[in-house]
């Protein structure tokens, strides 16, 4: 079996398992990404995400994560939903947090693909990841032809948009690499102009100013200079994706575990601001929102209330 046929069989299985996209790249050191990451860190654009400065060698070379790795399989998994929260005045959740935590779901979805690889090609050393280890997911998605890096720094697929999660399988099986795709952002700068905190510069984000960082990653008080700029986002932010012209092509996902939770979607503004810890634990069990913990969500809600 030649490398191309091997790769095509894996891609066909990935489509059968519900993945939006699947591409291959050679496992090797990422020189351009290493330089970009180093400059980003040196400029302090990671805010208080100190972990981003850790394991630099692992982030820039997948062979450090899987010794002998020869390929990286990049996967895209759709999470787009047209549903919206019932109360337009309610504090807002990023779309990706409407259902079950994606870390749990994508690991479940990758296991059958890994089992298939073993069945078809014998004993293969491999590990799977989804935003859970020092892996430069966007770089591998670009290299594997999943899409191009938009000006908001997210990966975009032509005709499908950017509402998808990325995941990877790093393995010691040689596969035919895919070619990167062309950047189709052109002169558009809607995401840059729409960002209320001016966090976006072409193809990069100042993490310390991003609403998603401020409402999820930041553990201290939200800077007072951001008062009135969060546009009612309590967990994450979708503004740069909402204004992206490519997302008019996004189609609803077919993942039952990503279905919006009716009890969450129906919360009124008053119910959000009056939420107890018992209610928080019940509503967000198994959800990515648990990452902020109750105290973090309350901090966000207080900031929104005081900044209105």
Together in a domain, 167 and 235: no
Is 281 within the bounds of a domain? Answer: yes
Q: What pLDDT does residue 58 have?
A: 83
List, in sequence order, the alpha helices (H) in the chain: 3-16, 31-42, 56-60, 102-121, 137-143, 190-194, 211-212, 239-242, 262-265, 269-273, 277-283, 293-307
Together in a domain, 194 and 263: yes
Last residue of a domain, one of 141, 171, 201: 171
Of 32-41, 157-166, 243-252, the range with the lowest mean pLDDT is 32-41
Per-residue model confidence as pLDDT tens digits over 180-197: 999 999 999 999 999 999
Is 202 within the bounds of a domain? Answer: yes
Q: What is the mean pLDDT of residues 5-11?
A: 97
* pTM of the entire predicted model: 0.94
Is 226 within the bounds of a domain? Answer: yes
pLDDT above 80: residue 1: no
Q: What pLDDT does residue 177 have?
A: 98
Together in a domain, 32 and 138: yes
Per-residue model confidence as pLDDT tens digits over 144-159: 999 999 999 999 999 9
H helix or E strand, kind and range, residue 260: none
Is 224 within the bounds of a domain? Answer: yes
61 among known catalytic residues: no
Six token digits for residue 110: 């990758």
Q: What pLDDT does residue 45 have?
A: 73
Is 92 within the bounds of a domain? Answer: no
Integer CA distances (angstroms), 66 to 54, 124, 131, 274, in order: 18, 11, 16, 47
Of 68-72, 80-84, 160-164, 279-283, the range with the lowest mean pLDDT is 80-84
Per-residue model confidence as pLDDT tens digits over 207-261: 899 999 999 999 999 999 999 999 999 999 999 999 999 999 999 999 999 999 9
Is 219 within the bounds of a domain? Answer: yes
Together in a domain, 210 and 270: yes
Is 261 within the bounds of a domain? Answer: yes
Q: Under a CB-based contact definition with an 8 Å cutoff, are residues 235 and 292 in contact?
A: yes
Q: What is the mean pLDDT of residues 21-27?
A: 98
Q: Residue 216 is part of which domain span? A: 190-307
pLDDT classification of 52: cutoffs 50, 70, 90: low
Given the residues 57, 87, 101, 131, the one annotated as active site: 131
Together in a domain, 159 and 257: no
Q: What pLDDT does residue 43 have?
A: 77
Together in a domain, 38 and 156: yes
Q: Which residues of 72-94 are buried (b: 16+ CB within 10 A; e: fewer)?
A: bbbbbbbbbbeeebeeeebbbbb
pLDDT classification of 44: cutoffs 50, 70, 90: confident
Is 29 within the bounds of a domain? Answer: yes
Together in a domain, 143 and 203: no
Provide the domain count of the chain.
2
């Amino acid at each position: 079996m030649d490398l191309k046929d091997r790769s095509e069989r894996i891609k066909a299985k990935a489509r059968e398992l519900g993945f939006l996209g699947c591409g291959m790249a050679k496992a090797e050191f990422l020189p351009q990404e290493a330089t970009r990451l180093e400059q980003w860190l040196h400029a302090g654009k990671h805010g208080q995400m100190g972990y981003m400065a850790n394991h630099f060698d692992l982030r820039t070379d997948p062979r450090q994560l899987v010794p002998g790795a020869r390929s990286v399989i990049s996967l895209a998994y759709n999470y787009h939903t047209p549903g919206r929260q019932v109360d337009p005045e309610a504090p807002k959740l990023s779309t990706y947090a409407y259902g079950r935590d994606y870390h749990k779901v994508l690991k479940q979805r990758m296991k059958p693909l890994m089992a298939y690889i073993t069945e078809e090609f014998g004993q293969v050393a491999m590990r799977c990841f989804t935003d859970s280890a020092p892996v430069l997911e966007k770089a591998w998605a670009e290299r594997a032809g999943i899409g191009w890096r938009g000006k908001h720094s997210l990966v975009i697929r032509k005709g499908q948009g950017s509402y998808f999660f990325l995941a990877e399988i790093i393995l010691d099986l040689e596969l035919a690499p895919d070619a990167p795709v062309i950047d189709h952002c052109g002169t558009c700068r809607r995401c840059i102009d729409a960002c209320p905190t001016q966090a976006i510069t072409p193809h990069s984000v100042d993490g310390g100013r991003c609403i998603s960082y401020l409402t999820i990653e930041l553990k201290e008080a939200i800077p007072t200079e951001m008062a009135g700029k969060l546009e009612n986002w309590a967990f994450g932010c979708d503004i740069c994706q909402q204004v992206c012209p490519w997302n008019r092509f996004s189609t609803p996902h077919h993942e039952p575990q990503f279905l919006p939770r009716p009890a969450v979607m129906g919360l009124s503004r008053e119910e959000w601001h009056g939420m107890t810890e018992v209610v928080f634990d019940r509503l967000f069990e198994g959800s990515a929102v648990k990452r902020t913990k109750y105290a973090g969500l309350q901090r966000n809600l207080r900031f929104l209330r005081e900044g209105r």
